[in-house]
Structures are given as C-alpha cells and as structure tokens.
Structure 1
C-alpha cells in the first residue's frame, strides 16, 4: 500500500462528509461520491461546522457515479446498510487492485456485503462514536465526539492481530485529526457500539424522543439502561466479554451528550428506510444462534419492524 494513500468516500453525509472532509483538509487525495448534493458540492464545496472548529473546502473531487471515480487505495463505505445492494457496482469501480475497503456502518456483520465483492481479506470494519448531522446540501454539523475504532474483518468473528495496513490507515486518520484506534477484536467493538445503538436508536423511534428526552425521564432512562444491560448480556452469550463498567460509561456519555437525534430517528422522520436489520435484527439472530433469548430486544425489534414496514406502505401508497 502506498505511503500516500488515496481515499474514496462512499456516502458524503453526516459521517462520510465529516471524516472525508477532515482527510481532504489534511491534504489527502480524497474522492467523494454524491447523489442529490452533487451539483451543490461541485459548485460550492463542502462546509463542515464542528465543535472543534468550522472549516470550508471550496473545491473537492466530487462525482455523481462510482464509474467516474478513480480506483483508490482505501474505499470508506459510509452509506446506510439499507443501500448495500449498490456496493457490488460501487466497490468494483472505486477499489484499486490490492486496495482495501473500510466499512464504517452501524450494526453487526455489516462487512459481509463488502467482503462478497472484494474478498474478506481486503475488508476492515469500524465503529464511529460520532454525533453528526447533515443539515443541508454539502453542509455537515459535527455536534460531539468523533472516535473511530476499527480492525480487520473476520467472517468467523475471531480476534485478528492488528496488521501493518491497519496501522497505516490509523496513522492517516490521526494525521487528519480523527481520533482513531486500531483494534484486534472488531466484533467486540461492534457489540460495544450496539450497547448504545440498540437502546438509543430504537427508543428514539419507539418513544419519538431525542437522547436528552430519553435521559431526562426516569422511566425511559431506566428502560435505556435495561436494554444496554440486555445487549451486554447478549454479547457475553456470543463469546465477547464486556466489563459491566461499560454500562455506566454508555449512560454517563449519553447524559453528557449534546441533545441529539439518532440516525434511525432522523431516517424515520424523513420517511427513509431504517437500519433495523443491521442494528437490531442481526445481533438478535446472532444471540439466537448461540442459544440465547432476550424478550426486551425481541420486542424492540418487532416494534421497529412494524414502524419500518408501515413507513414503506405509506411511501408506496403516496407514489
């Protein structure tokens, strides 16, 4: 892998726009795939508002289709998992021979779709502990946090030593002022992220509430903590040990968080498909494969599936 890597950003939204913008600001060769924002970004560039300092990129390498993009050393997948059917066409165009794919999507086993295209040995996965929203065309509002924990993908979920290429990408991210941590157990990190994603994405839709609203009512706060503990128990059943102190960390971090609408609630409010399967369905099925059950997680999954299918029917009837 070249000492000066090129990056393709697949999905220039709240996550891809923010991290890709930081990489571009740091001088890396970054190429952005856009859809509805293409004309605006091509003319006006990217605007990043951040708690760490606002910045504007007046000119970026913007593309309307993956076929127009150069093959890059690292392709960062930042689209929602509900659009993964597009990956076969996209990754074939954007990933050079010997290049790697870094999957920065929410959920469990989300790397499998990318691995099916480029091969599992060329895939890394990562979790972003980030509060960020896209607030307008080419306009990203970074609210809080920003750490990425990532590592080598293994289909069997086993621990894998941190590779040289992972260390190189970690160094690139840090050079771009992105707090990055290379890890040897990607699946454990995904379960840790699910300890936030499942309760706060799920409850934000079911209760129609922001993180602050959930934490500011004793009943919903208690429910969130119960679900966090359920997710930890599921991880343990699946062979991933997570210290109980991580439960308190999730609660305390959310209390300290700037009031925030989860990505699932944003999608729900805007009538888009929600990542129910990746975030809740896949972990629940993994638990069941290991002989476990979780009534609360099953109920949350059923509720979210109902909301998601009702949204689909409403959208179809309007069409």
Structure 2
C-alpha cells in the first residue's frame, strides 16, 4: 500500500516515521526546505522509550538510545506522480486549504484520506472537495513537539491512532487501511464510533487549551493557584455542556480520561499544543479548537463565558502576530 503523509511536523513526522521504520511504503509531502532537511539528516524521533520497532525492519540508521534516525522518501507539491492508496493528513487547521490543493493529484478512485486535525471543520472541507467515500475520521493522541532542527520529540509514552469510516458502517478499504496502520510501533485501532471519538478528543483538547492559554501556565500551576481547581472544573463543565447540546454527549470513559488527565497534571507538567505554540510565538488553532465551540454555544444557547473569553484572548494574540 502506497502511503502519503501530508506534513512532517510533530504529529505527521512521528506516525509517518514509525510507519517508515516498520517498513511501510511511506512518502512525505512537505515543503522544499523540509524536504531538503529530511533528505540530508533523515527523520529523527527522540522518544522516552526509544524505538518501539525491532531492528529487523532495517529502516533506522545511526540511532542512539532514545533516538531513531529514519531515512524517508519525500515529495513536494507539483511533483506527485500519481494516486496513493492511503493519505494521512497531519497539518494544523490553518494549513488545511493549501494542503488540500497540494494533495489533489494524490487522490485516485480508491484513495482513503485519514485526517488527524483537531476539531470538526476539516471534515466538511475534505468531504466537499473529495466526496464522502474518500474521507475517514481520525484521532491521534500524542504529546510531541519539534526542535529548532526539525527533530520530533515525543514528550510522553502516549502514541495512539484511531480511524474509521465516518458513518461507522462497513467499508471495502478498511481491512487494507488497518493492515497498513497496525504493528508499526504505536497503538492503532479501527473504530466504528470514530465521529464520537473526534468530538470527545475535541472536548479534551479544548479544555486543556482553554485552561493553559487563558492562564498562560501548565495545568499543574493552575491547579496549585488559589481558585485554580474551581476554574478548571468550570472550563470542563462548559465544554461538556456544549458538546452535549451539539448532540455528542461524552461517554463515561471520555469524561474519566479528561478528569484523570487533569488530576495527573498536578505532578506531571501538562500543557497544550496551543500553549506551546503561543510560548513560541507561532500561529495557534484558535478557530478550530475554541472558536467553533463558542459558535456552537451561541447557536445552541449554552452559557460559556470562559470559552468566549479564551477565544477573545487567542484572537488578540493572533492579531498581535500579524500587526
């Protein structure tokens, strides 16, 4: 199966790198500068547990303990030579439109697209562009970041990928997609409830993002401050109310995961990707993660003052970057 990974950032680079390390036929669609760096240095993953793929795969070279150096194939926009069987789309929400334009030549009659973006707006865009038969739902759970040199640093041992048809029904390509994404050094599962899982991940990301960006601190520091636990509880309650009103009430296991993650943050330094991007002066996914939930709240009559405040705060930050 020919696999195209669109984006080689922290998410696409990690999962695509592990797939390449496991011997899958993987190509990264990246910008010219990233393509040159990957060709010269290989794709480098630093992990707290090292490579989770046996050396028999034969695709790691020059690795030290905790580091994988993986030779990878790259392609740039305009140089795609035909359709791919599986496209894993791993870009930030603000990079979706150019990514769609770049990957059009890679989509053939049997292509499956598994997007790993946050929120839900990207699903509408992909279905409108390529049709519902090509688009799966996708959820990834990983804490990772990029170094200045472009290396991927996995911050915890969590690395899980979930995917499946949006309607949860049978699909002729699912067995092949499952084979391609399984046994590659990370947790992977085909889901019949992928749309619900996407909403539940959105709940988690939004809660973590609002807490950390509004308070400009890791969750543990917020919980240790006067009023911090009550503030965090209100943030989570607002998110639960919004997604429930939208018709996707979180299941018990999702609520348990959310609360356990917040509780563990008292002893483990837990942040959000939006917080890390803000600290680095980078663009943030304010609209896709927070703004769309605020829009749902307004449309459905849900009181969500903390989310409204957080979205204003993020919008001010975004405006200051372009001023």
1:6–1:72 contact (8 Å) kept in structure 2: yes
- Tell me how many residue pairs correspond in the alignment: 303
1:210–1:260 contact (8 Å) kept in structure 2: yes
Q: Match for residue 77 of structure 1?
A: 89
Q: Within the alignment, does 1:281 sit opposite 2:277 as a pair?
A: no
The structural deviation recorded for 1:164 is: 4.3
1:227–1:296 contact (8 Å) kept in structure 2: yes
User: Which of the residues 113, 121, 124 maps onto 1:101?
Assistant: 113
Q: Within the alignment, does 1:172 sit opposite 2:195 as a pair?
A: no
2:92–2:285 contact (8 Å) kept in structure 1: yes
Q: Match for residue 10 of structure 1?
A: 6
Q: Match for residue 155 of structure 2?
A: 143
The structural deviation recorded for 1:204 is: 1.9
Question: Taking structure 1 as reference, are residues 227 and 179 closer, same or farther at Cα in structure 2, changes over 3 Å only?
Answer: same
Q: Within the alignment, does 1:163 sit opposite 2:156 as a pair?
A: no
Q: Within the alignment, does 1:29 sit opposite 2:25 as a pair?
A: yes
The 1-side partners of 2:286 and 2:307 are apart by 12
2:160–2:186 contact (8 Å) kept in structure 1: yes
User: Which of the residues 181, 203, 208 maps onto 1:195?
Assistant: 203
Give the TM-score normalised by structure 1. Answer: 0.86
Give the TM-score normalised by structure 2. Answer: 0.85
Q: Match for residue 247 of structure 2?
A: 239
User: Which of the residues 51, 58, 66 maps onto 2:48?
Assistant: 51
Partner SS state of residue 189, structure 2: strand
The 2-side partners of 1:242 and 1:88 are apart by 30
The structural deviation recorded for 1:82 is: 0.7
The answer for unaligned runs of 5 or more in structure 1 is 154-158, 314-319
2:16–2:26 contact (8 Å) kept in structure 1: yes
1:37–1:137 contact (8 Å) kept in structure 2: no
Question: Taking structure 1 as reference, are residues 68 and 137 closer, same or farther at Cα in structure 2, changes over 3 Å only?
Answer: farther
The structural deviation recorded for 1:31 is: 0.6
